[in-house]
Amino acid sequence: MEKRHRLVLYGRSLFLAGIAASFKEHPDLDVLLLDSNLPDAPQRANAMCPHTVIFELQTIDPSFALSFLQEHPGVILLGLDLASDKLVTLSSQQSTLYTMDDLMHVIEKRARLN
């Protein structure tokens, strides 16, 4: 059996609950909903070993995203900005920077993606 993609919805809004309900029957997803107001919510999120975490940008402490990416470099964080109907993708993609040319290469590569 193929491993399912673990998706953690980090928050307690009706919007996230709706996403969970929509994806619950998707055969390739293991969908978990985690209340971000629990005192040990960040630790629980770590223990769930997700591939992707979805959260609402307005309701989560920004330090959560940074510390989570440092501990789980392969995880993709998707921040929903419901006020502007935008999705922010956060990842811990890293590049080695020894020279200004290295930095310029990263900037140019990112510019091509936009």
- Kindly state the DSSP code that residue 99 receives in the 8-state scheme: S
CATH number at residue 87: 3.40.50.2300
Q: Each residue of 22-58: pLDDT tens digit?
A: 998 899 999 999 999 999 999 999 999 999 999 999 9
Task: Count CA atoms closer than 13 A to 16's CA, side-chain side.
Answer: 25
Domain that holds residue 33: 5-113
Tell which wins on pLDDT, 92 or 64: 64
Give the residue with greater pLDDT, 96 vs 12.
Answer: 12
pLDDT of residue 1: 52
Rounded to whole angstroms, how far apart are CA atoms 42 and 28? 25
Tens digits of residue pLDDT in 72-85: 888 999 999 989 99
Write b or e for each residue in 72-95: b if 16 or more Cβ atoms lie within 10 A of its Cβ, otherwise e. Answer: beebbbbbbeeeeeeeeebeeeee
Number of folded domains that form the chain: 1
